[in-house]
């Protein structure tokens, strides 16, 4: 029996419905992370270059060796409008993997944003462009362009496995990843949670509900309060 090994560069992936992406973009990453089981949130090391940056779209995954961006250029050559480049740079901060030139190219292609598990540069210029970019930090050193890697394979970024086509949503709090099969249910749950939290905040501000309704029961279950006791 013969086995065919997939190529290092997988050009075609299944992308999530743009309508679902648009719905997901309406929710804070915190809401999505909570209703997705408090999983899928990348390490806080990976942060937006500016708090105002937002992104949502299907992941186009890229694995590179530390300090080399050859495969990012290859990924940009096959990316589709609306894609989010998610780059496993191994968390290396000794040189930048991307800067203003590559970001300008991504904008022209229609890429929705970039998530780099590694460093970038030209951060002031990128902030001025307003393009959503998340990274672990900045470094003025430039990368090499000579080491092979892989595109559209599963990668590990900030403690989370990211697969090609996964939903990526980012805001000021960071990035959350949701598997495509779970997206419809997660969005339904997000709508309800957002409504519940909005009502809770209104209750706090009006003075009608100054502590959570569940607090006493949770304290009893934890053994802090006796049965029938309240704060």
Per residue in 141-151, pLDDT (tens digit) is 999 999 999 99
> Which structural domain range is residue 136 located in?
18-180
Q: Does residue 5 belong to any structural domain of this protein?
A: no
Q: Does residue 128 belong to any structural domain of this protein?
A: yes
Is the pLDDT reported for residue 2 higher than 70?
no
Per residue in 49-85, pLDDT (tens digit) is 999 999 999 999 999 999 999 999 999 999 999 999 9
Average pLDDT, the chain: 95
Mean pLDDT of 166-186: 97
The number of domains in the chain is 1
Per-residue three-class SS string for the chain: CCCCCCCCECCCCCCCCHHHHHHHCCCCHHHHHHHCCCCCECCCCCEECCCCCCEEEEEEEEECCCCECHHHHHHHHHCCCCCEEEEEEEEEEEEECCCHHHHHHHHHHCCCEEEEEEEECCHHHHHHHCCCEEECEECCCCCECCCCCEECCCEEECCEEECCCCEEEEECCEEEEECHHHHHHHHHHHHHHHHHHHHHHHHHHHCCCCCCCCHHHHHHHCCCCCCCCCC
Mean pLDDT of 169-195: 97
Q: Does residue 13 belong to any structural domain of this protein?
A: no
Which range is least confidently modeled, 111-115, 130-134, 164-168, 200-204?
200-204
Per residue in 101-130, pLDDT (tens digit) is 999 999 999 999 999 999 999 999 999 999
Q: What CATH number is attached to the domain comprising 157?
A: 3.50.30.40
The answer, as to whether pTM is greater than 0.95, is: no
Q: Does residue 187 belong to any structural domain of this protein?
A: no
């Amino acid at each position: 029996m013969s086995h065919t090994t997939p190529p290092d560069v997988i050009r075609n992936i299944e992308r999530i419905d743009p309508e679902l992406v648009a719905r997901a973009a309406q929710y804070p990453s915190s809401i999505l992370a909570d209703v997705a089981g408090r999983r899928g949130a990348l390490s806080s090391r990976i942060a937006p270059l500016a708090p105002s940056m937002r992104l949502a779209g299907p992941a186009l995954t890229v694995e590179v060796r530390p300090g080399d961006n050859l495969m990012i250029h290859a990924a940009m050559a096959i990316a589709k409008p609306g894609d989010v480049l998610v780059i496993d740079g191994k968390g290396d901060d000794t040189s930048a993997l991307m800067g203003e030139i590559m970001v300008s190219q991504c904008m022209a292609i229609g890429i929705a944003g970039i998530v780099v598990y590694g460093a970038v540069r030209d951060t002031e210029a990128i902030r001025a462009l307003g393009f959503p970019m998340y990274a672990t930090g900045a470094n003025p050193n430039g990368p090499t362009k000579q080491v092979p890697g892989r595109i559209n394979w599963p990668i590990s970024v900030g403690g989370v496995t990211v697969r090609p086509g996964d939903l990526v949503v980012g805001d000021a709090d960071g990035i959350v990843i949701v598997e495509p099969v779970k997206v419809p249910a997660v969005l339904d749950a997000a709508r309800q949670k957002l409504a519940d939290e909005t009502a809770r905040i209104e209750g706090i501000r009006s003075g009608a509900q100054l502590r959570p309704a569940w607090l006493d029961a949770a304290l009893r279950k934890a053994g802090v309060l006796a049965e029938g006791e309240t704060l």
